[in-house]
Amino acid sequence: MKVAIVGAGWAGCAAAVEATRLGHQATLFEAARTPGGRARRVSASLSGQPLDLDNGQHILIGAYSETLMLMKDLGVDPGASLLRLPLTLQFPDGSGLRLPALPAPLDALAGILVARGWSWADKLSLLKVALGWQLDRFQCPPGQSVADLCRGLTPNAMAALIEPLCVSALNTPADRASGQVFLRVMRDALFTQSGGSNLLLPRRDLSALLPDAALAWLAAQGRPARLGIRVQGIAPATSGWVLTADRREAFDRVLLACPPHEAARLVAGSGVAADGWLAHARGLQHEALTTVYAHAPDARLSQPMLALRSTPTEPAQFVLDRGQLGGSPGLLAFVISASVGDSATLTRQVLAQAARQLGLSALQAVQTIVEKRATFACTPGLQRPAAEVAAGLLACGDYIEGPYPATLEGAVRSGLAAARRLR
């Protein structure tokens, strides 16, 4: 079939590759000039020299099985492109959790028992709560939040582990994040496969990590992506769909791999009866993600990534040393998940936080990127849009109905699944 895929983010790239592998004629449209969607390369400069940043500092984990497999299929070596580390949530003073190289779930058990700066009350409360999750088969009532799940934890265990894990995985604070989605992530990362909880820190910009390779692969199959072309509208036809972009074209199927607000615009303009789907797509609330890039010639962290104590006035939860990841020496990326506030204020707060918590008073801001609709708010009982929109019209993306939060793995899995539903 002739298939139009609207959007070259990670979901759209995965869908286009899989549709082509299944024998369809896939045409990938992307309004931007750079593929990757909300996980893409951004051009900047440092001391007058060109610099590749990302629109948001992302972290992958070992449980991202479909993403890692697709990277390999496209000729990207995960071992060279990603720095693999045991799950480490340690703070600048050395306190926190670091899992040893043991089979799951023994690594989590041992890591908790030797966590630095934790009292025995902290450790025992976490072991008790985690055992309860296992006994309940990682299930909970749909209305429960992550905070509800963790009522038996000590304040230190909550602040040092659960809150950073929750906001990094779901980009939603624990008091309003879905307990069921969080449990699914915890199960797959910590209790299902050895190495599933490993941190995979990108050594390359996010577009080079997968989208660039996907577009090169598609071009080699005679299906080059059409970048810089915005789809104006779609409409059902007698046998398929008509898509209007730089010209009108007929397709057998259309797959929307664009953000939910853009997908809703196209669905509403098509005239198809999809009120329920539109209600769910338009009903999604969104969380922002801010990355503050800062530099000092001698700035270097004790390890490639550190957790930070986050407060309303010191908002960053993590900092990554891009110099230790193959980037410019002295370049740090401060991550504010579920961020609130304007760019200038967040930048000022982060520089003050770096001076107080890291002792780096000479840092200078390079660029601050606020992705206002980075993810959907992963709240309890959330009804997400289905993959089927109307006859011959599908949607994919990290916001589509599924077990995972808005992650790269969720996007890739959604794209692959949508391509396999083409019929």
In a domain, 367, yes or no: yes
Say what the pLDDT of residue 244 is: 97
Helix, coil or strand: residue 71: helix
What is the predicted pLDDT for the residue at 369? 97
Tally DSSP H helices, then E strands, for the chain: 15, 21
Residue 344 amino acid letter: A
Of 152, 169, 197, at which residue does a domain stop? 197
Mean pLDDT along residues 251-256: 98
Residue 69 within any structural domain of the chain: no
Q: What percent of the chain has pLDDT over 90?
A: 93
Predicted confidence at residue 110, as pLDDT, reads: 93
Whether residue 82 is contained in a domain is answered as no
For residues 168 and 259, membership in a common domain is answered with no
Query: What average pLDDT does the chain have?
Result: 95
User: Higher model confidence: residue 104 or residue 233?
Assistant: 233
CA distances from 14 to 214, 262, 296 (A): 8, 19, 38
Residues 8 and 116 in one domain: no
Q: What is the mean pLDDT of residues 230-238?
A: 96
Q: Are residues 319 and 403 in the same domain?
A: no
- Section 169-195 average pLDDT: 92
More reliable by pLDDT, 195 or 354: 354
State whether the Cα torsion 174-180-182-183 is positive or negative: positive
CATH code at position 279: 3.50.50.60
What pLDDT band is residue 190 in, cutting at 50, 70 and 90?
A: confident
- Residue 92 within any structural domain of the chain: yes
DSSP reduced 3-state for 295: strand
Of the listed ranges 43-52, 267-276, 317-326, the least confidently predicted one is 43-52
pLDDT over 70 percentage in the chain: 100
pLDDT recorded at residue 337: 96
Q: How many domains does the chain have?
A: 3
pLDDT at 95: 95
Cβ distance 280 to 267 under 8 Å?
A: no
pLDDT digits (tens, 9 = 90+) for 378-404: 999 999 999 999 999 999 999 999 999
Do 182 and 217 share a structural domain?
no
pLDDT band of residue 193 (cuts 50, 70, 90) is confident
Contact criterion met (CB below 8 Å) for 46 and 76: no
List, in order, residues 6 or more apart from 384 with CB less than 8 Å away.
280, 284, 376, 399, 400, 401, 402
Are 256 and 396 within 8 A, CB to CB? yes
Quote the pLDDT of residue 47. Answer: 87
N-terminal to C-terminal alpha carbon distance within the chain: 8
Residues 415 and 277 in one domain: yes
Place of tokens 């990355």: 291
Question: Cβ atoms within 10 A of the Cβ of 151, count?
Answer: 8
The reply to whether 324 and 243 lie within a common domain is no
210 to 17, 35, 81: CA distances (angstroms): 11, 9, 10
Per-residue pLDDT reduced to its tens digit, 117-156: 999 999 999 999 999 999 999 999 999 999 999 999 999 9
Q: Amino acid identity of 305?
A: M
Query: How many Cβ atoms are within 10 Å of 147's Cβ, its own excluded?
Result: 18
3-state SS, residue 54: strand
pLDDT band at 363 (very low <50, low <70, confident <90, very high): very high
Same domain, 242 and 369: no
The Cα–Cα gap between 147 and 370 comes to 26
**Residues 384 and 279 both lie in one domain:** yes
Give domain status of residue 65, yes or no.
no
Q: Do 324 and 302 contact (CB within 8 A), yes or no?
A: no
Per-residue model confidence as pLDDT tens digits over 56-83 = 999 999 999 999 999 999 999 999 999 9
User: How many Cβ atoms sit within 10 Å of the Cβ of residue 249?
Assistant: 14
273 shares a domain with 391: yes
Joined tokens for residue 355: 């001076």
For the cut 90, the answer to whether the pLDDT of residue 247 exceeds it is yes
Domain boundary among 137, 163, 197: 197
> 150 lies in a domain?
yes
Band (pLDDT 50/70/90 cuts) for residue 88 is very high
Which of 142, 177, 197 is where one domain is finished?
A: 197
* pLDDT for residue 192 is more than 90: no
**Is the domain of 172 the same as that of 97?**
yes
Q: Of 317, 374, 312, give the one whose Cα is nearest residue 341.
A: 312
Residue-range definition of the domain harbouring residue 120: 87-197
